């Protein structure tokens, strides 16, 4: 395959993406002296990447097809601002040969491979044929053009169940289904094709033999227009949920030196089959003995920071230098591994509710400082809105250390010290995952999270003396701040007494639990807290970074607290806690929502009606499917009954809380 002619050096770069990757590219562009142009939808008008860029252009309405996926509008934004190059990030148009061709036709540099390379390797089916010809090991499967259900069913039977249905035109777990029996195949094909078409505008699927208990290993490659092609070692991406990566690390703790060289050599062979130019990733599945080519991603990956941290290479800078027409600055034997890096993806989702996406305004965004060995790539900040239109990823927390154990410990500390309020995130789940003994021992496979989900999403711990003391300290600190005091003593906000003592009573409730009373005594002598039948010496002081130093019963602790009216969020050494400060003057009304309401949990689009009015339903029976944040969510019967009414139709765009169906309980 012909290599592209060397491009010209450009001065202004448009980033055709949003969120943390847009922010990431803007930072490197700025460091290289390039001007940056952001594009945005109406939903992202106040987004961080828009604020950071030198210029920004509105593309259109919130839906991706009206904005970030609209090739004509992105090209026009580049023309309007004089941007000479476009970086596609990942997702959206990053693997669109049509978009790369449109850039070429408009005399705009596309920071990535040529359209021909994207077509050859971006198609999962086409790339399988190329790899077969190049001698790269493949998973048995069907990659043909015939897409009618009869052909797919025949090929699946020939391969043997279980099989994996995959969208040919994209990745990220979209349009992917595991099918373990022939009876499940028809529904899985319909659902996979529908989701693939919504995500990528192409419903073509392929079928592969599903490798049970597999590991997911991928190799970072990058090539230039001078014929140089490097592999930058491998990443382990085995910890996944619904085929989406959750934790990534480099190098893989599974491979020894000889197997590392073998898989990297296979990756170079795969990329060399198309004389690849730009950054890309060759992905493999492993059964513990052999590796099989899965696909090539002809773009930068979400998890690229772990490769950067172990190699010291800025991959975005190298992408831009390749786009300038420069040769890669290092040879293969000059690229070395230094230490270990691990990354966790922070999502706006609720693990306790089957990872339902969470939308709304971020009221608090508190992250630790990026010190040596800790990096945070974020696309959001406090005050930003998380909309239902795009992927739910908010940020990535990445840690580096000389050893894997130390990197995991550093990552967990970074997660523990990150607080996001206003929406629900998966941060506690991530912390539980990286500290699981099996993860530390590397005894995992791609099904690990699903099997261990109960252990990884435990019920909230009960608040103890430390949390109740922290709640009192947080309230006093807030009152002191409001009074203009600097903190330091509990009486600064309500008056010191030279003789005698006063008391103040607080009451807190956790969830639907009973009230817990705390009595603060202050005045002459040390302040104390009476909790239950214990009386504990108590002191507090505010710190410069907004946290609070609490001393309770002689033990000093650093706490973080957010107070919103009578709702308290606390982070202590025991974890995260939500407490309600009971109003001593009454007025604690709480709205109760009946569990029998079949309503939209988030704004979304109705994509399938799965039951008919009048049908008898078992508890948990599927009623309809919504597409929310590019993922399908199936709403089910909360109890056994009769489907009395369907109050929506396929294609309806529904808002959060809108009733979609009515189920009448059996015997009602």
| Residue 518 burial (C-beta neighbours within 10 Å; 0-12, 13-18, 19+) | buried
Q: Which of 18, 299, 345, 421 is flagged as catalytic?
A: 299
Cβ(390)–Cβ(174) below 8 Å: no
**Which residue spans within 116-159 are E strands per DSSP?**
141-142
Round to whole Å and give the CA distance between 200 and 92.
8
Position of tokens 């409001």? 482
Q: Is 24 a catalytic residue?
A: no
Instruction: Dig out the tokens for 40 from the structure.
Output: 């945005």
Round to whole Å and give the CA distance between 128 and 282.
12
Classify 299 as helix, strand or coil.
coil
Helices 185-200 and 149-159, axial angle in degrees (round to 10):
110
Instruction: Dig out the tokens for 447 from the structure.
Output: 């099904």
Cβ(439)–Cβ(408) below 8 Å: yes
Phi, psi of 662 (to 5 degrees): -125, 125
CB atoms within 10 A of CB 275: 19
Instruction: Dig out the tokens for 284 from the structure.
Output: 């493999």
CA 244, 362, 387, 15 torsion-angle sign: negative
Position of tokens 């950054």? 279
Round to whole Å and give the CA distance between 287 and 479.
59
Is the peptide bond between 247 and the residue preceding it cis, with omega within 30 degrees of 0? Answer: no
Classify 491 as helix, strand or coil.
helix
Strand order in the sheet with 55-60: 55-60, 35-41, 12-15, 85-87, 109-110
Instruction: Dig out the tokens for 346 from the structure.
Output: 């922070």
Classify 543 as helix, strand or coil.
coil
Round to whole Å and give the CA distance between 492 and 501.
14
Round to whole Å and give the CA distance between 481 and 503.
21
Instruction: Dig out the tokens for 411 from the structure.
Output: 């990552």
* Residues labelled as active-site residues: 299
């Amino acid at each position: 395959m012909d290599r592209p002619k060397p491009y010209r050096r450009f001065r202004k770069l448009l980033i055709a993406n949003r969120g943390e990757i847009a922010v990431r590219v803007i930072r490197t562009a700025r460091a290289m002296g390039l001007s940056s142009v952001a594009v945005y939808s109406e939903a992202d008008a106040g987004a961080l990447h828009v604020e950071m860029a030198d210029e920004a252009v509105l593309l259109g309405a919130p839906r991706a097809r009206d904005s970030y996926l609209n090739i004509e509008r992105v090209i026009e934004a580049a023309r309007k601002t004089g941007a000479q190059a476009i970086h596609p990030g990942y997702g959206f148009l990053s693997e669109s040969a049509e978009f790369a061709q449109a850039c070429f036709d408009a005399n705009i540099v596309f920071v990535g491979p040529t359209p021909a390379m994207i077509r050859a390797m971006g198609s999962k089916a086409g790339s399988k044929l190329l790899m077969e010809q190049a001698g790269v090991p493949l998973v048995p499967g069907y990659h043909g053009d015939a897409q009618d259900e009869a052909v797919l069913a025949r090929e699946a039977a020939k391969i043997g169940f279980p099989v994996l249905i995959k969208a040919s035109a994209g990745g990220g777990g979209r349009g992917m289904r595991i099918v373990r029996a022939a009876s499940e195949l028809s529904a899985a094909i319909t659902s996979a094709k529908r989701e693939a078409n919504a995500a990528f505008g192409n419903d073509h699927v392929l079928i592969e033999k599903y490798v049970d208990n597999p590991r997911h290993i991928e190799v970072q490659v990058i090539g230039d227009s001078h014929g140089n092609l490097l592999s930058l070692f491998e990443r382990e991406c085995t910890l996944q949920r619904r085929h989406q990566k959750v934790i990534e690390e480099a190098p893989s703790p599974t491979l020894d030196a000889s197997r590392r060289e073998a898989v990297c050599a296979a990756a170079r062979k795969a990329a060399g089959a198309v004389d690849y130019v730009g950054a890309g990733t060759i992905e493999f599945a492993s059964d513990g003995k052999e590796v099989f080519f899965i696909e090539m991603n002809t773009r930068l990956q979400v998890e690229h920071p772990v490769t950067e941290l172990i190699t010291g290479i800025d991959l975005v800078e190298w992408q831009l230098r390749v786009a300038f027409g420069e040769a890669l600055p290092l040879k293969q034997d000059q690229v070395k591994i230094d230490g270990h890096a691990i990354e966790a993806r922070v999502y706006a989702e609720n693990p306790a509710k089957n990872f339902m996406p969470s939308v709304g305004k971020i009221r608090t965004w508190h992250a630790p400082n990026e010190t040596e060995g800790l990096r945070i790539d974020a696309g959001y900040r406090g005050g930003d809105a998380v909309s239902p239109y795009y992927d739910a990823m908010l940020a990535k927390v990445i840690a580096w250390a000389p050893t894997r154990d130390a990197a995991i410990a550093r990552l967990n500390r970074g997660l523990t010290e990150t607080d996001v309020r206003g929406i629900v995130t998966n941060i506690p789940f991530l912390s539980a995952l990286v500290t699981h003994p099996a993860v530390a021992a590397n005894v995992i496979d791609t099904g690990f999270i699903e099997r261990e989900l109960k252990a990884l999403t435990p019920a909230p711990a009960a608040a103890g003396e430390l949390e109740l003391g922290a709640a009192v300290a947080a309230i006093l600190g807030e009152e002191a701040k409001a009074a203009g005091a600097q903190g330091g003593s509990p009486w600064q906000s309500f008056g010191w007494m030279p003789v005698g003592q006063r008391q103040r009573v607080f009451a807190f409730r956790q969830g639907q639990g009973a009230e817990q009373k705390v009595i603060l005594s202050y005045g002459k002598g040390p302040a104390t807290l009476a909790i239950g039948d214990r009386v504990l010496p108590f002191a507090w002081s505010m710190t410069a970074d907004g946290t609070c130093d609490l001393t309770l019963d002689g033990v000093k602790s650093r706490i973080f607290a957010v107070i919103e009216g009578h709702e308290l969020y606390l982070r202590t050494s025991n974890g995260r806690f939500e407490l309600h400060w009971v109003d001593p003057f009454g007025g604690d009304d709480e709205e109760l929502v009946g569990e029998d309401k079949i309503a939209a949990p988030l704004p979304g689009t109705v994509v399938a009606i799965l039951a008919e009015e009048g049908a008898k339903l078992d508890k948990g029976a599927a009623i309809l499917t919504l597409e929310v944040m590019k993922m399908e969510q199936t709403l089910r019967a909360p109890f056994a009954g009769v489907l009395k009414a369907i109050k929506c139709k396929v294609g309806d765009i529904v808002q959060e809380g809108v009733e979609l169906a009515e189920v009448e309980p059996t015997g009602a």
